[in-house]
Amino acid sequence: MKINRIKICDFRNIQEMEISLCENANIIYGENGQGKTNFIEAVWLFTGAKSFRGAKDPQMVRFGQEKAVMEMEFFSGEREQTARMEINGKKTASVNEIPLKSPADLAGRFCAVVFSPTHLNLIKNGPQEKRRFIDTSICQIKSKYIHILNQYNRVLNQRNSLLKDMRFVPALYDTLDIWDERLASYAAVLIKTRATFLQRLKPFATETYKGISREKEALDFMYLSSLDCDLEGSIPEIEKQVYESLLSKREEDSKTGISNYGPHRDDIEILLDGKSARIYGSQGQQRSCVLSLKLAECQLIKETIGEYPVVLLDDVMSELDALRRDYLLNHLRDRQLIMTCCDKAYFKTLGKGMGFKIKEGKVISSRKYGG
Ligand SMILES: Nc1ncnc2c1ncn2[C@@H]1O[C@H](COP(=O)(O)OP(=O)(O)OP(=O)(O)O)[C@@H](O)[C@H]1O
């Protein structure tokens, strides 16, 4: 997967920018607050996922403007494709000039992996970040997943409203069953897909961790469901177990007025030599775990779609020590990389590429380096 050219208009502080990227390393550099992360965020939106900064659509339109428009030319396999996205209240997208039903349908057409300082704290930050990591990764390789996730969240919100209303209208209790059945059917798909994804990710991640840690400790991880279910089971089996588990926890949910169990509360346990990396791991070990997961994500996408995703590194270099920095860059040489940083110090380590200096949302200079 390679981006040729991208044009961005009225996206955050970027009024108008058009960049032709090279197929190796592209370094976007400049002082703080100039629009480097905004650029990465715009590229990321073409994966069909939401902003990796958790921004709502209207927040991404340039202040005082009505809409943001982005256009991208990219190669998927041998085929050149164009994608267009508009944020005008909400997002709309088209590929090769054919409108998509939903911008989420971009998932799987353009693939990227993003790595930002928030990811470095993935292990410390608790289950929500880990769920977001796994969900965005799966969306890249399973285009239907995002729709299941949206359906699950919709049913979950309805169930939560019902649980609240039940406190005032106890007769509503009888309708809970319908929502539990629906919730169980979506939850089973999410749980099974997430658990299977982690199993597929594991060999790549453990191998990478061995490389980074020079075989000092062994990485392992597993999906922790908040509901009682057998992750090895089939989706119908899990659905039945999830429904029964929801039933057994109904009283607690009714008392608290919220759904306390389900994929929205699940976690990923990350272990080093069998012990929790969150509780016992040093900062360096935790970061090595995250690097391993991110590099494994690239490998798994390659295994699934037959080519590497575009790698987006937002300001992570300054957060890593020399050992981990070198490891990361050495393992990203054969794919398109877009990386932001404040200075040009990394040009030397990256071999061949292009540098783009950004100021106030504009490219003020660009140059080739290396090669
Ligand atoms: N909707 C918006 N409209 C206009 N400007 C915006 C909008 N949203 C954010 N900005 C501006 O974008 C700038 C931040 O850009 P960005 O996060 O890309 O910085 P950066 O170059 O990555 O900086 P750093 O190196 O500090 O991370 C800020 O000046 C902010 O005010």
Q: What is the CATH number of the domain that holds 36?
A: 3.40.50.300
Q: Are residues 131 and 243 in the same domain?
A: yes
Ligand 1 atom 15 nearest Cα: 35
Structural domain boundaries, residue 223: 117-307
Q: Are residues 53 and 178 in the same domain?
A: no
Mutation test residue for ligand 1: of 12, 59, 87, the one with most atoms within 8 Å of CB: 12
Tokens of 33: 């607050």
Q: Are residues 170 and 282 in the same domain?
A: yes
Averaged pLDDT score across all residues of the chain: 92
pLDDT level of residue 15 (50, 70, 90 thresholds): very high
Assess: ipTM above 0.95.
yes
Taking CA atoms, 189 is separated from 115, 129, 144, 169, 259, in Å, by 27, 20, 11, 32, 18
Res. 344: pLDDT tops 80 = no
Mutation test residue for ligand 1: of 31, 37, 318, 362, the one with most atoms within 8 Å of CB: 37
Q: Are residues 67 and 92 in the same domain?
A: yes
Atom of ligand 1 nearest to the CA of 38: 18
- CA 247, CA 258: separation in Å to the nearest integer? 14
**160-218 pLDDT, tens digit each:** 999 999 888 888 888 999 999 999 999 999 999 999 999 999 999 999 999 888 878 99
Q: Are residues 293 and 366 in the same domain?
A: no
Q: Are residues 288 and 189 in the same domain?
A: yes
Ligand 1 atom 24 nearest Cα: 32
Q: Are residues 72 and 220 in the same domain?
A: no
Q: Are residues 198 and 135 in the same domain?
A: yes
Q: What is the pLDDT of residue 328?
A: 84
**142-167 pLDDT, tens digit each:** 988 999 999 999 999 999 999 999 88
Can you tell me the mean pLDDT for 259-264?
97
- CA 179, CA 272: separation in Å to the nearest integer? 39
- End residue of a domain, out of 260, 279, 307: 307
Measured from the CB, is residue 33 less than 6 Å from ligand 1?
Answer: yes
Res. 347: pLDDT tops 80 = no
Q: Are residues 175 and 123 in the same domain?
A: yes
Are 158 and 175 spatial neighbours (Cβ–Cβ below 8 Å)? no
Q: What is the pLDDT of residue 311?
A: 94
- Cβ neighbors of 255 (< 8 A, separation 6 or more) are none
- CA 275, CA 287: separation in Å to the nearest integer? 16
Mutation test residue for ligand 1: of 15, 17, 34, the one with most atoms within 8 Å of CB: 34
- Cβ neighbors of 56 (< 8 A, separation 6 or more) are none
Taking CA atoms, 310 is separated from 59, 64, 188, 307, in Å, by 25, 32, 31, 9
Q: Are residues 200 and 284 in the same domain?
A: yes
Report the separation in Å between the CA atom of 58 and the middle of ligand 1, taken as the mean of its atom positions. 15
What's the structural domain count of the chain?
2
Report the separation in Å between the CA atom of 36 and the middle of ligand 1, taken as the mean of its atom positions. 8
Q: Are residues 195 and 254 in the same domain?
A: yes
24 among annotated binding-site residues: no
Measured from the CB, is residue 62 less than 6 Å from ligand 1?
Answer: yes
Measured from the CB, is residue 12 less than 6 Å from ligand 1?
Answer: yes
**297-322 pLDDT, tens digit each:** 999 999 999 999 999 999 888 888 88
Q: What is the pLDDT of residue 54?
A: 87
Ligand 1 atom 16 nearest Cα: 35
- End residue of a domain, out of 275, 290, 307: 307
Q: For the beta carbon of residue 80, count every other beta carbon within 10 angstroms.
A: 12
- End residue of a domain, out of 272, 292, 307: 307
- Which helix or strand (DSSP H or E) is residue 68 part of? strand 68-76
Q: Are residues 294 and 160 in the same domain?
A: yes
Nearest 5°: CA angle at 262, between 123 and 226?
60
Residue 145's CATH number: 1.20.1050.90
